[in-house]
Amino acid sequence: MSYDSVLPLPENPIIVGFGGVGIDYLAAVPSFPKPDAKIRTTQFKVQGGGNTGNTMTCAARLGLKPRIISKVSNDAPGKAMLEELQAEGVDTSFFVVSKEGTTPFSYIIVDNQAKTRTCIFTPGDPPMVPEDLSRANLLSALDGARVVYFDARMPDSALVIAQEAFRQNIPILIDAERPREGLDDLLSLTDYVKIFHRQVTHTITSRILEYHKNLGLVSPLLACSYVVLFLDSNAWTEASSIPRALVSIILRLPRLKFVIVTLGKDGCIMLEKCVDDEGSHLEEMDIDSCLISLKGRKDDSTAMPTCIASSITKFRAEGVGSVCGRLYFGTSEKIPPSELIDTTGAGDAFVGALLYAICTNLSLEKMLPFASYVAAANCRALGARSGLPYRTDPYLASFTEPRCRISMSSDPQNAVVVGCGGVSIDFLATVAAYPKPDDKIRSTSLKVQGGGNAGNALTCLARLGLNPRLISKVADDSQGRGILDELQADGVDTSFIVVSKEGTSPFTYIIVDNQTKTRTCIHTPGYPPMIPDDLPKSSLLSALDGAKIAYFDGRLPDTALLVAHEAVRKNIPILIDAERPREGLDDLLKFSDYVVCSAKFPKAWTEASTVPQALVSMLLMLPNIKFVIVTLGKDGCIMLERSVDAGPSTEEVDVDSLLESLELKRNKSVSVPTCISSVMSTKPRILFPVL
């Protein structure tokens, strides 16, 4: 299974952002300093920041064409900020640049221990005022815009821009992070709202409506399509009436399509409004109970974001009313503690992804995991922008469209297979019994031949009649020349193997114990190791030309990742041999369509208690793979195949019990390999081939 690696572009990618920009001074410290302490940073970084700057940078990396209206000073930080935004593809021509004054900046203390970030903000001076923006520039900035974003700063200027956007029927999204001066006026014009949790019930359901009533206004909110709410994750447990508040918002805003609430690491909730067909006899359910039910269906073994949805239901909210709709619970990505660097800008990244989703009309089921993935990616680097993914990140495309399959050619000679990984010379020494420490023994036989996972796999393919090409590296020594000669004799194309003029080729000394039938491998890596610069772009493209599948053995991680990126761009399916956890393997597995692993790998990688549970976990953690196989040596192998969900009538079974039942069907009198498979269930189909 393969998929396009580039996110599709919307018909209209232009968005406008107005609000805060600044320079962020990010200081990572071992732990948050106590009053009057003197400590040292462990890491320091200076980069552009501010909600609007961060959000528009994210949108630009996802393929949108953002314009920013804001103000900086003509000082070094201001100039650096503009250059950084321009380099990201953000249109800065509508910035106001003050000849005097200072540019805004934030000092951000990132606590490595508690994983918190504390922001100390210094506003710019002079502040932006409506007179700074001429009407001609305003009209030019809004020309052709699909949506306008505000972070609720500089309220007087924001209101002028919002009023013009409303006059032009341009949807408005507001990041109401916390109560600010002028926010109520701005909210009266919005189509989308990002709002702090303590404002959910009061600001949206009471204060805005009262505001419009006093002024005799018809609220633009009453005609809006979406509202997006963001909750402080630490305060979520105290906000037990949030689901009822969502019902209230939809009831008070009759044209609202959906409302989203984010819960930080605990995921997000979306309530979608549906047409209430009086003759449909919809089930009526308390919305709090429904949310509890959805959360109960969460699979804690899944690391990647998912979305769990209810059926169309008439939701009842005590003391509020009822609404017809669907409730969605989106999980967040589980970031390993070792990968969680800094949460600065995670909310901005989420909003940037939502802006992309709005512009591309992304389905609701895909919108939540997509935005969560983008936000999580940003948490893996220091600062609000360093970890923001680019449109070319192939994993992003998996959230937007189905991956398409490329079928194998009927002519095996035209079935080009590209392999990237290890080759070596194997010295196979057979011994009567495995030596004890400090022993001196003799081998009973010795054989020298080519080896390495990739070399062996592609030799097998060549002997089966396929056309394999190998990407690897050897030295120009006798061992390297021996490796190349043997591969060429077997029909493997070695023209893409890098030959170093100096250094040594890899080799492995393998002790084969005749008594216990074990083999112990002592590997000596080649030097210098292969790096991406060893493989020119032209050679890479030539190697992949016409390939039907790409194989990786998990070695040469940097080069493998380069090859995998290009394979994905070309819609070439990827098979990965996950022998054991290796550096860079997690990144490589995200691209995989098929995974074959050793007996120990699934449990080690997923931390599941059994192999079948680990296979389920792998399919959930790697949502694009079709199947995963674990080899068990003389005990056979197990394959778990992903199947299309056949609906509620599909039987649900425990995967461990299912494997036990398959093993009982094994005919031990048969000496040739067989395969016993299950019927389709809500768990992916499991097959138990017997060797």
User: What does the pLDDT look like over 45-79, one tens digit per residue?
Assistant: 899 999 999 999 999 999 999 999 999 999 999 99
**Arithmetic mean of pLDDT, 11-39:** 91
Contact 655, 683 (CB under 8 A): yes
Can you tell me the distance from the alpha carbon of 95 to that of 16, in angstroms, rounded to the nearest whole number? 12
- Which tokens go with 184? 């109520």
Strand partners for 427? 448, 509
- Cβ atoms < 10 Å from Cβ of 554: 25
**CA 524, CA 477: separation in Å to the nearest integer?**
15
Which class is domain 404-539? alpha beta
> What DSSP state is assigned to residue 107?
E
| Cα gap 122→24, rounded to integer Å | 10
Is the pLDDT confidence value at 279 over 90? no
- Cα distance between residue 618 and residue 595, in whole Å: 9
pLDDT at residue 206 in the model: 42
What's residue 203's pLDDT?
Answer: 42
Q: What is the pLDDT of residues 291-317, one digit of tens each?
A: 999 998 888 877 889 999 998 899 999
Residue 321, C-beta contacts closer than 8 angstroms, at least 6 positions apart: 247, 248, 251
Q: Is 128 exposed, middle or buried (0-12, 13-18, 19+ CB in 10 A)?
A: buried
Quote the CA–CA distance of 416 and 112 in Å, as a whole number: 48
| 682 has a pLDDT exceeding 60 | no
| Average pLDDT rounded to a whole number, residues 473-494 | 93
H helix runs in 309-363, sequence order: 346-360
What is the pLDDT at residue 219?
39
- Please calculate the CA angle 352-354-358 and round it to the nearest 5 degrees: 120
On the question of a common fold for 14-393 and 404-539, the answer reads yes
More confident residue, 242 or 46: 46
User: Using CA atoms, how far apart are residues 52 and 44, in angstroms rounded to an integer?
Assistant: 23
Checking if the pLDDT of 419 tops 70, the result is yes
431 strand-pairing partners: 443, 513
pLDDT in tens, 546-557: 999 999 999 999
pLDDT at position 175, please?
76
With a cut of 90, say whether residue 409 has pLDDT above it. no
Q: Is the pLDDT of residue 225 over 80?
A: no
What is the pTM for the complete model shown? 0.57
Kindly list the domain boundaries of the chain, sorted by start residue: 14-393, 404-539
> 88 φ, ψ to 5°?
-85, -5
CB 638 within 8 A of CB 611: yes
CA distance 455 to 257: 56
How far apart are alpha carbons 135 and 158 in whole angstroms? 13
Separation of alpha carbons 338 and 641, rounded Å: 31
Residue 526, phi then psi, degrees to nearest 5: -75, 160
Mean pLDDT is highest, among 49-53, 396-400, 668-672, 676-680, for 49-53
Assign domain 14-393 one CATH number from 3.40.50.460, 3.40.1190.20, 3.30.450.20, 3.40.1180.10: 3.40.1190.20
pLDDT at 531 over 80: yes
**For residue 216, what pLDDT is reported?**
37
Helices 611-621 and 655-664 pack at an angle, to 10 degrees, of 130
Contact between 175 and 51 under an 8 Å Cβ cutoff? The reply is yes
